[in-house]
Amino acid sequence: MYSHFKSPFFLLFFIPMLAGCATKPKGLFSTEKLPPAPDYGDLQNWAAHPMKTDSADLLPIPELDNVQDTSGVDVFFLHPTTYTRRPGNTLWNGPIEEDKLRTKTEKYPIRYQATALNGAGRIYAPFYRQAHIESYFTKNRKESAKQAFGIAYSDVERAFLYFLENENEGRPFIIASHSQGTQHAERLIMRLIDGKALQKKMIAAYLIGMPVTEDAFKEIRPCRSEIQTNCFCSWRTWKRGSLPIAKRDTVSNVLVTNPLTWKTTGYAPREMNKGTLLRDFHKIYKPGLVDAEVQDRVLWVNRPRFPWSFLILRPNYHIADYNLFWMNIRENARMRVQAYLNRERS
């Protein structure tokens, strides 16, 4: 699932800096080697925050609006793994004070993913001591990986609690995430939102890039229409005809949302795709680049065609889960916000 970090698809669609082989952490997890825990009272420990100028403020084309200065809605965004390479690395968790790692996170997932939500609300995206990418692959150090993910989640929960207590002021919010961020977002919702008073404030959750089952939560249900609220969406993108073979994919009730129709079944032609964001941030690639079909635990799309697309060798399009449907996600977030606000006013 995470082999896209080595693929030409990754290079062309998203984050060229991350291509290449990851340096594995040395030895076992140790609390003595942990980077310092971030203080979320310090703006510098937020990759995106309404009170600072950051990559989440950007717009690829001038026709779009950034509503963060005026919105009464918040977006809590959890970025995917960017801790993949660090020569001489001995750490299982990424040190957020490291300039290169901060820049990589700001320049790529915040810029290319979180910006899809700046037309819907005020974006809060914490840096967190993310688990090294090796945590997903290790076979003989699984306990170390588990501990690394635990540290990463502890930061996410502290950031969210700080957000609620000091920033949110009771506003409704969206949870949005990708890959490792989704792993932590799912746990966060289970622990702090599902079945609690806060659930009524959650407009929707976009839990993208990891398998999330339809019954992941006790009370929060999958979104099954484009304007349903207090619900969650999820998908993983694969080339039509391909399926993941990892052990975790034996689960049969994985939720797959079609981001062109926002239903959990069926096919949508490429004409419904409103626009894709590729490597050139200052351009929305032509509408209709890919179609979308819910199929056996994943979202199938046609092979995208654009200059140099013949270099796409892998069927796993995970890295472009947001990018391929960037405009549809942006439009849908705004629609759900409006539906939520209309319901609250009625």
Average pLDDT, the chain: 91
How many domains does the structure of the chain reveal? 1
CB-CB contact of 230 with 202 (8 Å): yes
* Order of strands across the sheet that contains 202-208: 46-48, 122-126, 74-78, 173-178, 202-208, 231-233, 221-222
The predicted-structure confidence for 79-120, as pLDDT tens digits, reads as follows 999 999 765 677 999 999 999 999 999 999 999 999 999 999
Rounded to an integer, what distance in angstroms lies between the CA atom of residue 245 and that of residue 337?
36
The Cα–Cα gap between 292 and 300 comes to: 6
- 3 pLDDT higher than 70: no
pLDDT tens digits, 130-162: 999 999 999 999 999 999 999 999 999 999 999
Q: How confident is the model over 204-230, as a mean pLDDT?
A: 98
Please tell me the distance from the alpha carbon of residue 139 to that of residue 135, in angstroms, as a whole number. 9
3-class DSSP assignment, residue 218: coil
Compute the average pLDDT of residues 175-198: 98
CA distance to 25, 56, 317, 328, 337, per residue, from 274 (Å): 41, 21, 18, 6, 19
- What tokens does 341 get? 């606000």
Q: Rounded distance, CA 228 to CA 274, Å?
A: 20
Residue-wise pLDDT for 155-173, tens only, equals 999 999 999 999 999 999 9
Give the pLDDT band of residue 13 (cuts 50, 70, 90).
very low
pLDDT at 19 over 70: no
Instruction: Write out 283-321 in H/E/C secondary structure.
Output: CEECCCCCCEEEECCEEEECCCCCCCHHHCCCCECHHHC
- Give the lowest-confidence range in 1-5, 214-218, 272-276, 325-329: 1-5
Per-position DSSP letters for 224-290, written without gaps between them:
-STT--SEEE---EEETT----SGGGG-S-B----TTT--SSSEE-GGG---EE-S-TT-EE-TTS-
Q: At what angle do helices 180-192 and 142-163 cross, to 10 degrees?
A: 60
Which domain range does residue 225 map to? 3-345
Q: Given this model, what pLDDT does residue 308 score?
A: 62
Q: Give the span between the Cα atoms of 215 and 221, in whole angstroms.
A: 7
Q: Give the per-residue pLDDT at 311.
A: 62
Band (pLDDT 50/70/90 cuts) for residue 123 is very high
* Bridge partners, residue 190, by sequence: none
Tens-digit pLDDT profile for residues 245-277: 765 566 789 999 999 999 999 999 999 999 999
Cα(first)–Cα(last) distance of the chain, in Å? 44
Q: Report pLDDT for 8.
A: 34
Chain segment 279-312, per-residue pLDDT in tens: 899 999 878 999 999 998 999 999 988 766 656 7
At 14 the pLDDT is 41
Residue 1 predicted with pLDDT over 50: no
Residues of the chain with pLDDT > 90, as a percent, come to 81
Torsion of the alpha carbons at 236, 239, 244 and 248, rounded to the nearest 10: 10
Instruction: Give the residue among 177, 216, 145, 190 at the shortest CA–CA distance from 76.
Output: 177
> Would you say 114 and 125 are in contact if contact means Cβ atoms under 8 Å apart?
yes
What pLDDT score does 24 carry? 83
pLDDT band at 18 (very low <50, low <70, confident <90, very high): very low
| Closest to 172 (Cα-Cα) out of 266, 267, 73 | 73
For the cut 90, the answer to whether the pLDDT of residue 338 exceeds it is yes
User: How does pLDDT run across 239-250, given as a tens digit for each residue?
Assistant: 999 988 765 566
Confidence at residue 286, expressed as pLDDT on a 0 to 100 scale: 77
202, β-bridge pairs = 173
Q: CB count, 10 Å around CB of 217?
A: 20
Q: Is 215 helix (H, G, I), strand (E, B) or coil?
A: coil
